[in-house]
Every structure is written in C-alpha cells, then in structure tokens.
Amino acid sequence: MMSQNFLSTLTGSFAQPAMENPTGVVMEAAFKHHQLNWRYINCEIAPASLKEAAAGAKAMQWRGFNCSIPHKINIIEHLDGLGQSAKIIGAVNTVINNNGKLIGENTDGRGFVESIKDTIDPADKHIVLFGAGGAARAVAVELALAGAKQLTIVNRSIEKAQGLCDLIEQHTSAAASPVAWENTYSIPSTTHLVINATSIGLYPDVDATLDIDTTSITSNMVVADGIFNPPQTQLIQSANANGCKTVPGIGMLVQQGAIAFEYWTGIKPNIEVMEKALREALEIAD
C-alpha cells in the first residue's frame, strides 16, 4: 500500500477584523492550482494575543503567515529577523518560518511595483504619491529602491509626509519632498506617475474623491490606485477620461499575495488563478 500524507502545510493570516479578508480564498485557489497540500487559515487575533499567536504558529510548524491591520508594526518584536525593505518600512505583512526562525518581509510595496511594471518603469521617474500611512510607506520605499528619481509625498498630516520623506532620503538615492494637502492639489506637469495610497474611495465610500484639480492629470501621466474595492475608483475613472494609462489596486493586492506565496512555497504562482479567485470572492466583474 502506498504511504499517504494527511498532514497539510499550514499558513494563514493574523488580523482584527479578519472577517472581510479575502486572502485565504486567493491563496487556497493557488495551492489547489499548484497541487500543494497546503492550507491558509484566516485568524482573528486581538493585539494582546499577537505574541501567543506567533508562538503558536511556530509550535504548529506553520510555514508562515500574513499580518494585517493592526499587527503590521507590532509583530516585529516577536520575530527573529527582517528583510531589507521591511526593515526600512518598519512594517511587516508576511512572515516566513525558516526552520523555527520567524523572518518578516513586506510585500505590499513590491506587489505595487510589480503591478505597474507592464505600464511604467519607475526608474528615473517623477512620482506624486498621495498618503503617508502604512501602504504609502511600503509603496514609496519600493519605488525609491526601484530607482525612482523624485517622490512628492502629498498628505493631510504634514508630519507623516515629512517622516516618510526623511526615511526615503536616509535609505535610498531618491529625492523626496513633502506637501501639506490643505487645498485642491494640482499635479505638476513634469509628473510621470500619480498614485493614491490613501484610503479615500474605499468601499463603501465609493463616491469620495481626492481633492485634486483633475484637469492637471494629463494623458502623458500613468495613474495608479491602491484601492482595490471598487477597482474603478473615481480617480481611475477621471484618469481614464483624461486619456491616461491606469493601474487599479487589484493588481497590487494580487501581486503582494503572489510574492508571499513564493516566499513560502518557492513557486511563482499563476497570477490569473489568483486574480480570478479574488474577483469572484469580492464579486468584482470588471
């Protein structure tokens, strides 16, 4: 009789709230497609339980886990080491269990860079980035590491924009300047890439718009949005109407998951399978 293996390799996610997180569906579709006997367990973990959760994942020999709100920063003290960009960004969204050593990586920014790469190469580009929160930090650092020339960080809270600019100039060769977002912002005509990394436009506030002079978004610019639900945000719609090439946030979401998948399994996953599973899970038609 052939020996059988009923033991799955475990991965998962620690977040609070966890209920609306579709990553498990996406990962399990990829595990199935690649014929891996792996599981992804979506866990609701309160901040006070994070240490025990990390220890539990280690004890159960999980191969790794994702961290989402509110654990991306606090998980670091429970890890054994950090990858290069996670160290600069100061936040972790993917943990890899290397023989009992938990290593933190951040795939959000790399996922973003991957999602735009067929549309624009960030090297030597002038970029306007709205936001200075967790997603913006990851995106800005990876764009700078990918060779961006100049980043303008436009944010409501100027201290956070300044902090992000300092971080970029300290750790990368890109130039970065902060802008306090107090009035309607006009995109400089020399800009190659415009990115929304704020939470403006996220479902259910789908009609919320960035305070931008939309006539300053011209057809030579590429416009990307971190918001993935809905994929056709107000920003993406205006940019399309102005003749720009656009990159909706669903690409970033799929790509950051694909990089985590590859960290854990060593396999480059099929992106179409992951995107199809995500669109079905979120009931996104376009």
Nearest position to ligand NDP, beta carbon? 133
Q: 53 to 112, contacts with ligand NDP by CB under 6 A?
A: 108, 111
Q: Does residue number 256 form part of the binding site for ligand NDP (CB under 6 A)?
A: yes
**CB-wise, 75 or 252, nearer to ligand NDP?**
252
Shortest distance in whole angstroms from residue 247 CB to ligand NDP: 10
- Active-site residue numbers? 72
Q: CA-to-CA distance for 87 and 138, rounded, in angstroms?
A: 11
- Alpha-carbon distances, residue 19 vs 13, 172, 258 (angstroms): 11, 37, 21
List the one residue out of 171, 89, 173, 93 whose CA is nearest residue 132.
89
Q: Per the annotation, does 147 bind a ligand?
A: no
Q: Is 249 annotated as a binding residue?
A: yes
Which segment (1-9, 10-18, 57-65, 131-139) binds ligand NDP by CB under 6 A?
131-139
Residue closer to ligand NDP by CB (options 99, 180) is: 180
200 binding ligand NDP? (CB under 6 A)? yes
Cα separation, 213 vs 229, in Å, equals: 23
Min CB(256)–ligand NDP separation in Å = 5
Q: At closest approach, how far in Å is the CB of 83 from ligand NDP? A: 17
Which of 136, 141, 212, 239 lies at the binding interface for ligand NDP (CB under 6 A)? 136
Interface residue list for ligand NDP (CB under 6 A) = 108, 111, 131-136, 155-157, 160, 197-200, 202, 226-228, 249, 252-253, 256
Could you tell me which residues are annotated as the binding site?
68, 93, 108, 131-135, 226, 249, 256
Residues annotated within the binding site for shikimate are 68, 93, 108, 256
